[in-house]
Structure 1
């Protein structure tokens, strides 16, 4: 295990990012020496391309970006453990794809298969949407006013391809679907509630029924490649994106992750659940600042004792 159960102190929530943003080359450059001696199994395409030259074009493919985000997060955990003291935590939480990292770090999906599973997940999704210019996602920021979220839900329901993919905090959600419908929705919500829409750097409609066949194929892959002991207790409970509550067994955590393929990420609910008592957050992986900002935004009770990011070797000084 790359993570140990925390036995004392303020409970620590260890978080992992999704793929909403590309991994910056500067981060990859800093991690390359540790990649060269890593024991984590990765697909050949990642070995050949991720740390060679400018990876940005390579990472525009979800089949490449998804395993790269998971691998980078696990590489940082491996680096921490190599110092002789694995990171300790009480709970794991991942944003969308980050929940797959939680499953690997928790031993639900074997580490030797985990990055390969992330590659297949992205590949299946891309094969559902062969037209790279048809789909995408838009993040909406709006005022925390009564009725605004209901207006967004109502507007989204009027379109055939659109779905709310993420509820990130009480003033932000993400909608996925066809680009032309997203463009129209953006204009409507700007007029309705003065919402600001920002197009994300993705070419797929995540957490949308459009990906139903990818969900079926990934479920079949898991069932044939992984021998899951569904009743086994998790080393660290996982905050589910599907329910916003804790999963305690391998089977529950995996089933929730698979079901969330085509359902919205209830990240704000999970954050609020964690922030109801004193906790600290350690945000692992590329673009960890996104989860850091969301946790800070949702901490209305002042229960967030600390909220740090670990992306580079220099960041480790915050732990020891």
Structure 2
């Protein structure tokens, strides 16, 4: 008898007898790794005035062995951070309602120093969700993926991670204006002012590499027709209709410090030959998490990392007025 069945949960199906909210919580936790009750309430029950009902449903899931919680580090109030257990992940994966994730959060990872970074990524995406509701756009609790890997070179790199680009998140957003609907995709990097600007600029270098990376056929595949009918094309075209906009979201420091970090990042990007060669394909904007939460992505709160410094909205088109970073 499987652990799931022994616990009274049929793997691959909605857990019988669980309230609807409990069923909704599980895939969100699975996809976004680590969330607070407040974040989950804002995602799934935005009109609620307290987190009490969400916390109760999380405890119900915990009683079935599907979720677990850990204390938030450096938080005097003892706030809990929630994540799915191996049984919870198995239940979601067997149901095939979401793509299976290669990464599963462990008890050790949930309690580690990665907590705040994960929460900041989810707060960034949550800002998009909340403003989408106000604007009548579409961006929901499952509209972003955490750290999907993108190959940026062939073969084995001397150091394994050199062959891969891993954005903090890829977020999908449907903008609706009248009868016109536009699917927008964003590659998001969140910086809590804990990494050097040189390292952040190196991430942009990796994006420039990805924008121009054309996979080479393996020796065994040479001479055979390709899936694209022999057309050589960049790897990103297999994944995206257009190269996504890149958003750098800064937090964790006073606004003056964040402005200086943004200016330093622009300077390093301007001096990078690879970024310069890919500049026509890259649209990169930088803002702060605080501005994004307060004003939303379609306010002119982004500073372009490449080219003109005129503030823009998330579409990275120049705007006339702004409250720039």
TM-score higher than 0.5 here? no
More helix by share: 1
Relative contact order, higher structure (CA 8 A, sep 6+)? 1
Q: Which TM-score applies when normalising by structure 2?
A: 0.25
